[in-house]
Copies of this chain bind each other. A is one copy, B any other.
Amino acid sequence: MKTTAIDPKIDLKSIKDCPNSFVMAVNDTMNVLTGKWKLPIMATLIFGKKRFKEIEREIPRITPRMLSKELRELELNGIVKRTVHDTIPVTIEYEFTPSGRSIKNVLDAMVEWGQEHRNTVMNRLSKVNL
């Protein structure tokens, strides 16, 4: 089998080229997940809707600038939904979209592998240090 060149920024025409389209799909997922605060933010939303200030309070050391920026990205990516309630003053709620909620499957796989891999590394280290 002739292996195909793999390009991190591949163009759309080659979407039917198998290994590359996989890399593309993984890249899409990565883009949603990368950034220092995306994961913590998503973790706060797992148990339901939250307001800006609530999220800020639950994530130590995040600045409003970063929270705002990351929430906007997540919204643009169709991961979270932003709802404005015209109370006085206005309150804003953030929550997962269905698509956002379904990313939990990915996170589950990552948790499982992360824990297994940590054990593997620990075992290797403890054997080395006997």
Residues of A within 8 A of B (CB): 1, 3-8, 19, 22-30, 32-34, 36-37, 39-40, 43-44, 46-47, 57-61, 77-78, 99, 102-103, 105-118, 120-121, 124
| Chain copies in complex | 2
CB pair B8 A37 closer than 8 Å: yes
CB pair A109 B105 closer than 8 Å: yes
Nearest Cβ distance between residue A39 and chain B, in whole angstroms?
Answer: 6
CB pair A110 B30 closer than 8 Å: yes
Q: Given that A22-B107, A39-B23 are contacting pairs, would A3 and B113 also be in contact in the complex, using a CB cutoff of 8 Å?
A: no
CB pair B40 A7 closer than 8 Å: yes
Q: Which partner residue on chain B sits nearest A22 by CB separation?
A: B111
Interface centre among A107, A109, A111 (most CB of B within 10 A): A109
In the assembly, what is the distance between CA of A43 and CA of B19, in Å?
7
CB pair A36 B60 closer than 8 Å: no
Nearest Cβ distance between residue A69 and chain B, in whole angstroms?
Answer: 15
26 A-B contact pairs sorted by A residue (CB < 8 Å): A3-B47, A4-B58, A5-B60, A6-B40, A6-B44, A7-B59, A7-B60, A22-B43, A22-B111, A23-B39, A25-B112, A26-B39, A27-B39, A28-B117, A29-B111, A29-B117, A30-B34, A32-B117, A99-B120, A102-B116, A102-B117, A105-B113, A106-B109, A106-B113, A109-B109, A109-B110
